[in-house]
Amino acid sequence: MIESVISHRAIRFQFDRLTWIVFGLVLVALTLRVFDLGARAMHHDESLHAFFSWSLAEGRGYRHDPLLHGPFQFHVIAGFFALFGDTETITRLPAALFGTSLVLTPILFRRWLGTVGVVATSFLLTISPSLLYFSRFARNEMFVALWTVLLVCAVWRYRADGRYRWLIMLTAALALSFATKETAYLTAALLLLYLSVTMACQLESFRLHQRIATVLQDVTPPAEIRVRELSPLGSFLLKMMLVPFVWCLAAIWPLLGRVRKRWDWPQRSREVDLMVVVGTLTASQLAAAIQIPMGNLDAELTTAGGNVLRIGTVIVVVLLTTVVGLAWNWRGWSILAITFYAIYLSLFSAGFTNLGGIESGFWNSLDYWMAQQEVQRGNQPIFYYAMMLSIYEVLTLILALIGGMWLLWTRDRFGALLLWWFAGTFIALSLAGEKMPWLTVHLALPLAFAAGHVVGKISPTITAQLLKRPARIAVRLTAGISFAVLAIAIAFTLQIGIALSFGHPDTPIEPHIYTQTSPDVPRIAIQIETMAYDRPAQGQRPIYIDTTQALTWPWAWYLRDLEVSYVLPEFLRAENLPEEAIVVAALHTISESDPLRLNYQKGVHYQHRWWFPEQGYRQVTPRYFLSGIADGSLVKDWWSFFVTRVDESTLGSLDGEVLFPK
């Protein structure tokens, strides 16, 4: 099937009217994503990403830390810094460009989305409030979102035409996903489960139950075996029983020659190819999962032999997956493996300047985030993402869910893949220990594709009904109401997105902003930098910053060109600081009676970090929800929130003060 490795034609885009419409939407998306991109204060996480990217660009190297996810983002931002300078705008520019490129991706599915579906999907990707806001945010989400679309595209299109180039794209996107963010584990799992189901359906379609009965007839009197057609329920149950085992069949497929011949199975299916490629390359990232069945392994890993155990486990897993891959197709898998590991190893080792990053990638990426699920950062309720989607993605949510049921009823296979992508991600994220607003991106993305597909499928039917002569009044009335509701929903979505990204982008009066650096910080940073050099003959003033409650960030980014000492609060209270020093501290670190204040002007109070008040929705229970619906109070509260969000005076905050010398 893939013996001629890369002998196919290059991908061709049809530059017709549809393509130009999509490019027009891309320009709109680009404008929305780059306009006034540097205005918002740097978020705590953004400052971490920016600072370590700046260090890499300055030649200080890079060391992988799973807390900050994969290395791809740091290399890209560092590259932009080297080309265009290190500013807040340039920090966010890669995410903005990747977010813009998502608008172009529906063209890859043109054959299945149709003309209207491609335009609708690109439009929904353009105006999605979640995708717009986090495209203006220096996080990993937009990078891994693009890789996810390419993974889904590669799987779907290889199943359609079996061309090897899709396996190349699949491999590259998978390597980049693992080198970007650990959500790659979730994406790979969803794709493997999807392929397991499709392969199980394919095997059952060859009447597997009859093949089994035929074999049994060799050892059992024929009178005792009755081969009958399975009922729909029986067929479904047989398929589900096969799902946990088909990955094993795919792995040992080359060894099943006699069995396949006896049971009259087809030649190697495309699902087998995909499962081997995704499975072997993903399995190489799962070495740390050995800790799950071996609960006491954590203690052993802290001993002197722990490093040997980790490295040995990684080597064994890689060797086993290599054996499976070479047995499947030695030439094809070799090219894919070289592609995967060339991307993966070069990124984690920072161009092979830090070989320790390779071990960190293979082991620490999964190890760290398995442990974090117990920590449950964010501490959000299980309905968190249902709430977030109902606030920000109501347009695509309604289209995808209502239209999605119709797609399943009509057995639309592409629609089933899109709905599985959304449903699987939604369930996994809702059950995960850590729930954060930026993960909504991974739900908004499949929703936009599913909603666009629904629009593309129903539009010909609606158009045909309206063009009938004479068209029925009921049809016209229904179509008119539907278009009016759709227009209102689009306007509502635009209003939400514009307010979120441009109206109050660093004021957390709604849950998507969650916690955010106050606008006070960049303003005061300018004052500090100005005063730091107000004595040209004596050089820079000393600067001390309190590390209480992670006050270091984002000061480390804003003051990156200055010499700064980050100290514990006890240092500020106990030491005799130079009289000319500038001090930044949490609000109550230095008491009002501290003699230190005698050398300083009155402290400049500022809000360092503030956050959305979450007490309201955290208290919602099923009983409270139902009673609120019944008496109308919940509807009233939700409408008030949609109109005005929350009052700024209710925001929580971490306050600080800056002491400037007299």
Residue 384: pLDDT band with limits 50, 70, 90: very high
Bridging pattern class, strands 515-517 and 652-659? unpaired
Q: Is it the case that residue 320 has pLDDT exceeding 60?
A: yes
Residue 448: pLDDT band with limits 50, 70, 90: very high
Q: Is it the case that residue 49 has pLDDT exceeding 60?
A: yes
Distance CA 501, CA 129 (A): 8
Average pLDDT of the residues in 411-422 = 95
Q: Summarize pLDDT for 29-43 with one digit per residue, the tens.
A: 999 999 999 999 999
Residue whose structure tokens are 């172009």: 104
- Residues of the chain with pLDDT > 90, as a percent, come to 56
pLDDT of residue 206: 52
Average pLDDT of the residues in 197-211 = 65
Q: Is it the case that residue 395 has pLDDT exceeding 80?
A: yes
Q: Is it the case that residue 377 has pLDDT exceeding 50?
A: yes
Global pTM value: 0.90
pLDDT of residue 211: 55
**HSE of 170, CA atoms in CB hemisphere, 13 A:** 32
Q: Is it the case that residue 301 has pLDDT exceeding 60?
A: no
Answer yes or no: are the C-beta atoms of 349 and 358 closer than 8 Å.
yes
Tokens describing residue 428: 């996994």
Residue 468: pLDDT band with limits 50, 70, 90: low
Question: How far lies 297's CA from each of 304, 373, 410, in Å?
Answer: 13, 18, 50
Answer yes or no: are the C-beta atoms of 556 and 536 closer than 8 Å.
no
Q: Is it the case that residue 246 has pLDDT exceeding 80?
A: no
- Other Cβ atoms less than 10 A from the Cβ of 319: the count is 10
Q: Summarize pLDDT for 498-523 with one digit per residue, the tens.
A: 999 999 988 999 999 989 999 999 99
pLDDT of residue 577: 85
Question: How far lies 207's CA from each of 40, 237, 393, in Å?
Answer: 61, 13, 43
Residues 6+ apart with CB under 8 A from 460: 116
Using DSSP, state whether 47 is helix, strand or coil. helix
Q: Is it the case that residue 4 has pLDDT exceeding 60?
A: no
* Higher pLDDT pick, 3 / 260: 260
pLDDT of residue 7: 40
Among 121-125, 302-306, 427-431, 535-539, the range scoring the smallest mean pLDDT is 302-306
Q: Which residues pair with 653 in a beta bridge?
A: 610
Average pLDDT of the residues in 629-642 = 80
Q: Summarize pLDDT for 344-372 with one digit per residue, the tens.
A: 999 999 999 988 889 888 888 888 777 77
Using only C-alpha atoms, the chain has a radius of gyration, in whole angstroms, of 29
Q: Is it the case that residue 151 has pLDDT exceeding 70?
A: yes
Distance CA 501, CA 508 (A): 11
Residue 631: pLDDT band with limits 50, 70, 90: confident
Query: For the chain, what is the mean pLDDT?
Result: 86
Q: Is it the case that residue 628 has pLDDT exceeding 90?
A: no
Residue 169: pLDDT band with limits 50, 70, 90: very high
Q: Summarize pLDDT for 215-233 with one digit per residue, the tens.
A: 445 544 444 445 455 556 6
Q: Is it the case that residue 5 has pLDDT exceeding 80?
A: no
Answer yes or no: are the C-beta atoms of 461 and 403 closer than 8 Å.
no
Q: Is it the case that residue 107 has pLDDT exceeding 90?
A: yes
Average pLDDT of the residues in 293-303 = 56
Query: DSSP secondary-structure letter at 131?
Result: H
Tokens describing residue 590: 């230095």
pLDDT of residue 225: 44
Distance CA 484, CA 174 (A): 42
Q: Is it the case that residue 209 has pLDDT exceeding 80?
A: no
Q: Which residues pair with 645 in a beta bridge?
A: none
Bridging pattern class, strands 582-586 and 604-611? unpaired
Distance CA 525, CA 42 (A): 12
* Higher pLDDT pick, 470 / 169: 169
CA dihedral 406, 409, 415, 420 (to 10 degrees): 110
Average pLDDT of the residues in 291-297 = 63
